[in-house]
Amino acid sequence: MPRALCAWYDRAKRDLPWRRTRDPYAVWVSEVMLQQTRAETAAPYYLSFIGKWPSARSLSGAAEEDVLKAWEGLGYYSRARNLFKGARSIVKRHGGWVPCDAAALQKVPGIGLYTAGAIMSIAFDRPVPAVDANALRVFARLLTLDTAGAKLHRTVAEHIRAAMDGCSPRRFSQAVMELGALVCLPRTPDCGNCPISAHCAALAAGRTQDFPQRAAKPERRVVRLAVAIATEPGGRVLVRRRSPHGLLGGLWEFPAWEAEEDPEAAVLKGLYGAGVPGGAPRAAGVARHGFTHLVWEMQGYFVQAQMAPVRRGWAWKTPEELEPLAWPSAMRPWRERVRALADKAPAEKHAK
């Protein structure tokens, strides 16, 4: 089975930029980006990121704000913060070189069991299992594994370690990932084009949809927010930077407050509490953004505000000054409205 799978990988693999290198740092960056992100989406981010910071040492010297800005649009920003912290740790503890040791790797911030396995197998060609969702799905079907959670993970890791005896760990790890991404799909596996279908117990039993066992997803909590696009007479917009800890840590946003019943009142109360008096809010539309565990349902408002000093972490910015800041995707609709206001203002001034 391992030889057949690796031979298929050699023929069918996608030409992805991180497959053109064995640099452990580049492998690390790619694996972090590929968590919760499709390869096609991650590829341009990877090329840009490696172009800016081609080594752990260069990344360790970057500004966190710049790293978050480079990550903008990929989501799950804790990955970027941990990558940044990890680079600093590698410089401090390993002289800037990614260690060729699974235990040492797992002591680096942001590198867990899977990422350590991916770096060890792909970059260093060592027989260390990299068990991601693709690997769990492939082996759960191959072996009809009726387990879940940690037990399934351990069982799959054992089988991967044994299978690596028949194929290069570098090729085998990537072959399993590629099979799960292209053929052994979650809901519609393409069994007719699977190079190892003859070994698949789930296919033989007509039970591919039964594996792996799926845990019920908890219902996402809905949070209703009132978002203020507050502009002072000079055209600057009020923004704030989120706490470095927690959801979207360190990213910029337009001020927003939870508002279950009266979002207009929430905006005025929030601005007043921030020391920024404002006029009557004017509707700016609605937007919705989903996270893994919750959903933001946002109602936006334009507010003509008075210029006032603001607390630490808040700032008045011109529309041009907003562009270099690192923003979450959830704020994209409101940024577009600010851009539209900025484009409209010169035109109105010229018309007068």
Positions annotated as catalytic residues are 31
Nearest Cα to Cα of residue 334 among 279, 349, 278, 325: 325
Answer yes or no: are the C-beta atoms of 76 and 110 closer than 8 Å. no
CA distances in angstroms from 288 to 154, 296, 333, listed in the order given:
38, 6, 9
Q: How far is the CA of 230 from the CAs of 152, 226, 239, in angstroms?
A: 51, 12, 8
Q: Is the peptide bond before 189 cis (omega within 30 degrees of 0)?
A: no
SS (H, E, C) the chain: CHHHHHHHHHHHCCCCHHHHCCCHHHHHHHHHHHCCCCHHHHHHHHHHHHHHCCCHHHHHCCCHHHHHHHHCCCCCCHHHHHHHHHHHHHHHHHCCCCCCCHHHHCCCCCCCHHHHHHHHHHHCCCCCCCCCHHHHHHHHHHHCCCCCHHHHHHHHHHHHHHHHHHCCHHHHHHHHHHHHHHCCCCCCCCHHHCCCHHHCHHHHCCCHHHCCCCCCCCCCEEEEEEEEEEECCCCCEEEEECCCCCCCCCCEECCEEECCCCHHHHHHHHHHHCCCCECCCEEEEEEEEECCCEEEEEEEEEEEECCCCCCCCEEEECHHHHCCCCCCHHHHHHHHHHHHHHHHHHHHHHHC
| Alpha carbons 276 and 351: distance in angstroms, whole number | 31
